[in-house]
Structure 1
Amino acid sequence: MGVVSVPEAGHPDRLRAPGRRPRVVLVDVFETILRVSALRSRFVDVGRPEHECELFFTRALRDGMALTLAGGVRPFADVARAALRTTTGHSLSEDALDHVLSGFGELPPYPDVEPALQALARARIPAYAFTQGSAGTARDALDAAGLRTYLRGVLSCEEITSFKPPARVYDWACRQVDVPGDRVALLAAHSWDVHGAVRAGLVGGLATRLEGAVPDTVVRPHVAAEHLDEVVAGLIALPA
């Protein structure tokens, strides 16, 4: 894949990372590794329709991104709690809010995740969970899912008071793993997350199982396939 210049507002023009096999892979957590739709039953538990689950999570992500742009963003837990109140029409007690939100620590994994992480381990490519939620919640959920042993660590952009996808978030993550950005891959099921990573100079791997295809509005990922294990196979197959 050729190297092309990708301008980014507020940052020097960056070169698109060449399509090379990554030395490290960052894996998004919510909806890439763990299935947020499992929270639907908790909405029913507190007397709310289960379809509010998707609206709530989408609103939480939107609000976190908007507050990141505007300045003064709060931690994911605070943003999610406010989004849950709004989504449910301010009808839930604090205990009911706690019941729904505590489900983030018990989310089940998608079936394509363990094969993907196993393939990275066999290829000796270190993998890190990369979340905008709290690192502690992600660790609890990954432990409960039996997946944390495949991961070198859990990185949370709460440490730099930001949500994805500004470039500084991916730059920070690359510094944490001590590998240049063009040799780090971001693996996610959200095209906007992969878009942000590619524009920041990382290798992008998109699992299209949520969105069905690569949207026309994002930069092309280096590898795209329906399932996470297929994307990992594509990343491993890239030239060294």
Structure 2
Amino acid sequence: MKNNRRDFIKKSTILGAAGATIPAIGFANKKEPKTDRPKVLFFDVNETLLDLTAMKDSVAKALNGRNDLLPLWFTTMLQYSLVSTVANQYNDFAIIGAAALQMVAANNGITLSHDEAKKSIVDPIRSLPAHPEVASSLQRLKDAGYTLVSFTNSSNKGVETQFKNAGLTKYFDQRLSIEDMGKFKPHVDAYNWAARKMNIKP
């Protein structure tokens, strides 16, 4: 069974969030159809390229050290970003994050002002370091001739500051933010918009 599984899993990988290596599954004995090499590679920013540890520590501190509440805060933030998109209303991702943090705090008996919530997110997120392997990996992709584009739910100003502080600006041909089109990822319109901006087919 183990040998069959090894034969089934092709020796290729893709890079997922936070650098996780995911096996690409396919039939090893079957001839793969010839596909065109992609022209443009889009990268999510937070957690995929940048290490969120400092921001998570800051948010946990705002929640009186309740690290167990971090997943609830994160899912609440994503939920309300999707609600905002479905309702055709756009709010800055940091504003949604701060409001979600206030909700989680209030529901757990923790007093937190909007300014305190926003500060605990915005200040650390703009100075996050890149994961150790990111710079060299991006350089290899540039050397291989790919066009590299960052694509984020964060604001234009936010990601500009992040890349400057993390030393990643030089690797990217373009920075795209959903701030310019008003719908958060993973709405399909966001991805189609990004493809149109780069003049490519999805």
1:134 aligns with 2:155: yes
Q: Structure 2 CA distance, aligned partners of 1:51 and 1:110?
A: 24
3-state DSSP class of the match of 2:111? Answer: coil
- Contact kept, 8 Å, 2:102 with 2:113, in 1: the verdict is no
1:56 counterpart residue number: 73
> How many percent identity over aligned positions?
29
Q: 1:29 aligns with which of 45, 60, 70?
A: 45
1:3-46 Cα shifts (integer Å, max 9, x gaps): xxxxxxxxxxxxxxx84311111101112111223212213543
Contact 2:82-2:184 at 8 Å conserved across structures:
yes
Aligned to 1:106, the other structure's residue is in SS state: coil
Of 91, 97, 105, the residue aligned with 2:111 is 91
TM-score (norm 2): 0.73
Give 1:113's aligned residue.
Answer: 134
> Paired residue for 1:221?
none
CA-based RMSD of the aligned residues comes to: 2.0
**TM-aligned CA deviation for residue 126 of structure 1:** 1.3
Asked if 2 retains the 8 angstrom alpha-carbon contact of 1:63 and 1:79, the reply is: yes
TM (norm. structure 1) is: 0.62
Equivalent residue pairs, number: 164
Distance in 2 of aligned mates of 1:98 and 1:72? 20
* Unaligned runs of at least 5 residues, structure 2: 1-33
Q: Hey, which bits of structure 1, 4+ residues long, moved more than 6 A?
A: none
Structure number with the bigger relative contact order (C-alpha 8 A, sep ≥ 6) is 1
Amino acid at match of 1:28: D
Name the aligned partner's letter for residue 149 of structure 1.
Answer: K
- Matching residue of 1:72: 89
Where does residue 155 of structure 1 map in the other structure? 176
